[in-house]
Structure 1
Amino acid sequence: MALTPISITSIPGFSFGHYTDLDAATGCTAIVAREGATGGVDVRGAAPASRETDLLRPENTVEQVHAVILSGGSAYGLEAASGAARELEEHGIGLDVGVGRVPIVCSSCLFDLGLGRSDVRPSSASGILAVRDALSRSASDPLAEGSVGAGTGATVGKLAGPERSMKAGLGARAFQLGELQMGAVSAVNAVGNVVDPATLAPIAGMRAASDSMEVLDMEEAMISMASQMTMPLDRTNTTISCIVTNATLSKAQATKIAQMAADAYAHTIRPTHTSNDGDTIYVLASGALDAAASAAYPIDLMGLVATRALEAAICAGCTTAEGLFGLPSYQDTVA
């Protein structure tokens, strides 16, 4: 049985859409589960901006999530989830509470206020447009990557300040193993560098100088700076991700997969899970692959496939990003 790349939009039960504001260098991305999906979450970073993560704890009673909104705008960007909820309600999507439907919308935000315009952030209207984009697309439509959606203002490699960082963005990758499908969407806005997990070669990160394209080893730089090290842009980084699968999972199983998939951050981001990152991973399971068929794939195997998908998505978030506001990207190194 081989691990085969597939389009993330081909995984049944999910729709994907973006709202992008290139002028302000911000945006948001909607992952919509029209019929609901079982959700789990893992938060490793020390500075998260999030909504409805407690609801995903296995002991809590709401079982189905209808959307995850990944957004720029720091804590202001959480407003996009409110707009997303209203738009989902307009389409009759949500938890039936007898007198209406309440869409369950989880959200996490990254800090992109240092690029573009700090006074323009994703709003309720942005969330509405991202959901509309998702609901208007078919499974054959590819999901745009790079400097789009939640990745529009994303950057990496910020130990020496923003002037020596590089542009990153949003990546989406998916794999199939037998009947199991697993995909990941990631908006990469880490304080650390992003490396190829197979070779450890740098993809994007802290440059030797503002006019250089040489990417330095940030971990070694941190050690050499030792007690003189200061962290500019405190608490202004975060890599936020959503894993989607066709499997049938419980909330506890989805949470375990999210925990295992956090290894993808350690494999690709150096350093990761710092006090200045709000790293968060959601898992949504549509159940299109029934419980009996899903049971053929152990949770540890699912976690491994999820990790592979997230590794690929994080790397793609950097390799597909275009430079913005004078900040170079990986594409400038291979031009």
Structure 2
Amino acid sequence: MNSSHDLLAHQGHIARVHGIRIGQFTDPRRPTGCTAVLCAEGAVAGVDVRGAAPGTRETDLLHPSNLVQQVHAVMLAGGSAWGLDAATGAVRWLEQQGAGLDIGVGRIPLVPAAVLFDVMLGDMRIRPDADAGYSACESAGTARPAEGSVGAGAGAVVGKVFGHERAMKGGIGTASFTVNGVTVGAIIACNALGDVFNPFTGELLAGARSADGRQLLGTRNALLAGEEPRPVLAGSNTTIGVVATDAQITKAQAHRLAVVAHDGLARAINPVHTMSDGDSLFALGTGLSGQSLGMMTLCTMAAEAVAVATARAILLAQSVSVEGQAILPSHGDLQRQAGAPV
């Protein structure tokens, strides 16, 4: 797997993991939405928050030394801090299905969440709420999830180091790998401050554009050459996602899987994990394959799935035009403009 066409041809996706279902809601009123990763029967879980400006919910319970061993969903959402309310809709939906931690008098569904900042596109008063989260759960299934500018990636934007007007459209992508009957999959909503690359060839796919907007600038090289970045609002970026496996793993191993999964982000995004990003990755283990491959192989698969999913989020993104704002082009737009095959 080398070229962008190879990445687009990749057939794996996170819903191939036994016990995982994906549902999404995209708001028709402005570019925003949410993505529900459901594991209603319960899954051990871990998290690693690497960015310095995160927006999260229920992450403390995922520490390996804490009591609760399983969660029942993870919610990814746009809308910045307001988007965390989408997890409430997932809790409500799961309770109606009889899912959750048994407390004798009922069940409490446990739904960690992470959000990204997409409120610069259109009316910021429109953001994912509990009803949006509920709708995402209602649509959940095991088919390949939609990718590109949908769900939590609907309002994602990448390459903002030199100003939002020189940025490009981000999105959400998924990938998976299966080895000896065990699957590891990822779903990534990429709203990075930095540029996004093909993780295998190093080809720059999307990011900050030149002043005339016609071509990619190359943020890393521009910064190293002394070009001054524009002031960036803390938390106004973030790549969030979930890595899931049907291997049998412990809660401590789920935490390690989330840690190593960030290597996939580092292969596809530069700069990454900045002071203005809230990069957060969750890991889920359903155990439904009945076996494990060992952590060396699982971690390799996780980083690979994250890298591919991140690139696919960009390759499948669609340009967006909001009244009164400049059009943010996609990777495909710049390719067509340059006369290159898409």
Q: Do they fold alike, i.e. is TM over 0.5?
A: yes
The correspondence of residues 228-247 of structure 1 with structure 2, limited to 5 A, is: 228-247=228-247
Question: Which segments of 5 or more consecutive residues in structure 1 lack a partner in the other structure?
Answer: none
Residues 107, 93 of structure 1: CA spacing in aligned structure 2 closer, same or farther, 3 A cutoff? same
Q: Which deviations, in whole Å up to 9, do the C-alpha atoms of 1:206-232 show, x marking residues without a partner?
A: 0002531x1111112223336x44433
Pairwise CA distance, 1:265: 1.1
Amino acid at match of 1:25: P
Q: Which deviations, in whole Å up to 9, do the C-alpha atoms of 1:108-151 show, x marking residues without a partner?
A: 000000112211110011011011111xx3x3x22100010000
Q: Which residue of 2 aligns with 1:327?
A: 328
Aligned residue among 118, 122, 131 for 1:125: 131
Alpha-carbon distance between aligned partners in 1 of 2:244 and 2:147, rounded to the nearest angstrom:
17
Q: Tell me if structure 1 keeps the 8 A contact 2:29–2:126.
A: no
Matched, 1:150 2:152: yes
Residues 229, 205 of structure 1: CA spacing in aligned structure 2 closer, same or farther, 3 A cutoff? closer
Amino acid at match of 2:286: S
User: Percent of aligned pairs with the same residue?
Assistant: 43
Q: Which residue of 2 aligns with 1:72?
A: 78
Question: Which segments of 5 or more consecutive residues in structure 2 lack a partner in the other structure?
Answer: 1-9, 322-326, 337-342
Amino acid at match of 1:298: G
Matched, 1:313 2:309: yes
Amino acid at match of 2:210: A
Amino acid at match of 1:122: P
Q: Tell me if structure 2 keeps the 8 A contact 1:81–1:107.
A: yes
Aligned residue among 27, 38, 50 for 1:32: 38
The correspondence of residues 20-169 of structure 1 with structure 2, limited to 5 A, is: 20-134=26-140, 137=141, 139=142, 141-169=143-171
Q: Tell me if structure 2 keeps the 8 A contact 1:19–1:29.
A: yes
Q: Count residues with an aligned counterpart.
A: 322
What secondary structure is seen at the aligned counterpart in 1 of 2:24?
Answer: strand
Matched, 1:257 2:263: no
Pairwise CA distance, 1:261: 1.0
Pairwise CA distance, 1:245: 0.6
Which TM-score applies when normalising by structure 1? Answer: 0.93
Alpha-carbon distance between aligned partners in 1 of 2:14 and 2:266, rounded to the nearest angstrom:
23
Alpha-carbon distance between aligned partners in 2 of 1:78 and 1:7, rounded to the nearest angstrom:
25
What secondary structure is seen at the aligned counterpart in 2 of 1:273?
Answer: coil
Q: Tell me if structure 2 keeps the 8 A contact 1:161–1:233.
A: no
What RMSD, in angstroms, separates the aligned Cα atoms of the two structures? 1.3
Alpha-carbon distance between aligned partners in 2 of 1:122 and 1:65, rounded to the nearest angstrom:
21
Q: Which residue of 1 aligns with 2:270?
A: 270
Q: Which residue of 1 aligns with 2:286?
A: 286
Q: Tell me if structure 2 keeps the 8 A contact 1:244–1:285.
A: yes
What secondary structure is seen at the aligned counterpart in 2 of 1:68?
Answer: strand
What secondary structure is seen at the aligned counterpart in 2 of 1:40?
Answer: strand
Amino acid at match of 2:41: E
Pairwise CA distance, 1:333: 2.3
Pairwise CA distance, 1:5: 4.9
Pairwise CA distance, 1:167: 0.1
Q: Which deviations, in whole Å up to 9, do the C-alpha atoms of 1:275-304 show, x marking residues without a partner?
A: 0000001000111022xx31xx22122101
